[in-house]
Amino acid sequence: MKTIIEPFRIKVVEPLKMTTRAERETALQKAGYNVFLVPAEDVLIDLLTDSGTGAMSSEQWAGIMRGDESYAGARSYYRFEARLQEITGFEHIIPTHQGRASERILFELVGGEGKVIPNNNHFDTTRANIEHSGAKAVDLVIDEGRDPRSRHPFKGNIDLDKLDGLVKEVGVEHIPCVMVTVTNNSGGGQPVSLENLRAVRAFCDRHGLPFFLDACRFAENAYFIQQREPGQADRPVTEIAREMFSLSDGATISAKKDGMVNIGGVLLLRNEELYIGARNLLILTEGFPTYGGLAGRDLEAMAQGFEEVLHEDYLQYRIRSTAYLGEKLLASGIQIVEPPGGHAIYIDAADFCPHIPRSQFPGQALVCALYRHAGIRGVEIGSVMFGAHARMELVRLAIPRRVYTQSQIDYVIEAIQEVHAERDRMRGLKIVEEPPVLRHFTARFAEI
Ligand SMILES: Cc1ncc(COP(=O)(O)O)c(C=O)c1O
């Protein structure tokens, strides 16, 4: 059969509040045209992020009840540790409260003034943590990864020639590690091939460099490898994921994505010295090493989530349902980053509303238009988020895991088609208030 159905049934429901266009207009104005500042209750379909917004399974909720809340040596930690060791092959498994806590610890240890850290595309919190340490974050994705129309199957790949150029330019002694984000969130949720990861490993070995993964969406990346990479079709996703981890020296993970939980993170390390440094920093701000800023019940939910995310029927549904949204938009003449990514669809806002110049934030204008028209919340990934570093003006519609049904996604498609038909009426924005870092979260705008 062609229809790929949700491989679960609904046991608990959460009613949605319907709002009028006038109510949404008021909410937008109150929020300074920044949908991060709109109360979630006033959002109908929330595609702001796939991070921490997924639905947990009955087994995860059962784990919540099993949680051992002992301060030290909790049973839940050992279950979590064993599961992560089995999936990733790493010895040192450090729980953190979320991905950015893992990043903060790692870059406090390896970052600092004068250092340069390459990645395919740094996620905003990764970049911010690197820069906070005094180091510089550099994006080296392949050129196809910057072209929304390129159908390259692994647009998340890092460009080895650019990496080589960086080493020659700044000197290997200034590069504490190479990082690769799988899948590449800021570059359109695009996967990285095993071939590319193996090449990065060989490059790092040649130069004596550690190699870290930002592995928030490791399972989705592993599934893309199975589906698209020559020679990988017959391998189980679990085996591919394990090889991805085996190629690296460490990984930061936000478990709010492929960990299938609402809160949680992991830092994986191989090097003993680095592990001891990380454990000390963990105790300073997160907590004792067997809970790391989380409750025992959270560790139980993570242990179960990391197992469920590797079920191939789940991954097939997940990747196919995201592609469904993307393909329908493309068929309506709406340019997205092609091919559809794993966790989200990225609309090319510069193409959607060419009459709005980059200086007037076309992505933010489209985010506001979608909310105003249909109560849909997306997020700008462009000049608002990355300032001068922005390469594209995108609007990301991130799909929470196991949350929305196909009819709700059909509603989203219809709404975007209607906004597209009237796009000439959309107006640009100017910033009227902004914080010094990560401005997209709290900046306020005015319509021009
Ligand atoms: C690729 C990537 N890295 C890091 C993070 C940060 O994770 P967290 O939000 O859990 O701090 C995210 C979150 O969206 C992400 O997508």
Verify whether ligand 1 is closer than 6 Å to residue 265 (CB atom).
yes
Which string of b and e fits 293-330 if b means at least 16 CB within 10 Å? bbbbbbbbbbbbbbbbbbeeebbebbbebbbbbbbbbe
R_g of the chain, CA atoms, integer Å: 21
Q: Which amino acid is at 366?
A: L
Task: State residue 150's pLDDT score.
Answer: 94
Over residues 109-122, mean pLDDT: 97
Tell me how far the alpha carbon of residue 331 lies from the centroid of ligand 1, in angstroms: 31
* Burial of 369: CB neighbours in 10 Å, binned 0-12, 13-18, 19+: buried
Task: State residue 232's pLDDT score.
Answer: 98
Tell me how far the alpha carbon of residue 260 lies from the centroid of ligand 1, in angstroms: 13
Q: Name the pTM for this structure.
A: 0.94
pLDDT digits (tens, 9 = 90+) for 151-173: 999 999 999 999 999 999 999 99
Residue 2's pLDDT band, with cuts at 50, 70 and 90, is confident
Checking if the pLDDT of 390 tops 90, the result is: no
Residue 47's pLDDT band, with cuts at 50, 70 and 90, is very high
Tell me how far the alpha carbon of residue 185 lies from the centroid of ligand 1, in angstroms: 9
pLDDT digits (tens, 9 = 90+) for 7-22: 999 999 999 999 999 9
Query: What percent of the chain is predicted at pLDDT more than 90?
Result: 93
Task: State residue 436's pLDDT score.
Answer: 87
Tell me how far the alpha carbon of residue 100 lies from the centroid of ligand 1, in angstroms: 6
Verify whether ligand 1 is closer than 6 Å to residue 100 (CB atom).
yes
The alpha carbon dihedral of 282, 286, 288, 293 has a sign of negative
Atom of ligand 1 nearest to the CA of 181: 1
Checking if the pLDDT of 391 tops 90, the result is: no
Verify whether ligand 1 is closer than 6 Å to residue 120 (CB atom).
no
For a pocket test of ligand 1, which of 213, 257, 285 has the largest count of ligand atoms closer than 8 A to its C-beta?
A: 257
